[in-house]
Structure 1
């Protein structure tokens, strides 16, 4: 196992935020897919099919944007 001396190890806070962000991404993505595809939830929502799909797609786009911000490197780190 070789380690590069010029690379810094992630801090505990940064690792925790990465795990928390990944968990949030998975949960929000699952919620967006549930809004679109899950039958019992779709029956309870007062939207038409195209509105439900649109809301689900917006939720999925939000999850992707949050995940991309999570992976973005800070200039000071």
Structure 2
């Protein structure tokens, strides 16, 4: 999955974009989990839509993970 030698051979710009992609991926995943489990959210949204939006964000994070993993090769 992750090849350290391939990571060392990348240019600084490619390394920065890879790390930035990982950070954004973690942000989407954390936001999805937060929406699902945080009951007293500061804005008014029905629980069904809140959970569906959280699941959508987690699925999008998974898609980004596979795209990031594929572009690493």
Alignment correspondent of 2:22: 22
Q: Which runs of 5+ in 1 are unaligned?
A: none
Shift of 1:66: 1.3
The residue number in structure 2 matching 1:39 is 39
TM-score (norm 1): 0.71
Give the aligned CA root-mean-square deviation in angstroms: 2.4
**Unaligned runs of at least 5 residues, structure 2:** none
- 2:67 maps to 69
Structure with the higher helix share, 1 or 2: 2
Where does 1:52-63 land on structure 2 (aligned, <5 Å)? 52-63=50-61
Higher relative contact order (CA 8 A, sep 6+): 2
Compare 46-55 and 13-22 and name the one that shifted more: 46-55
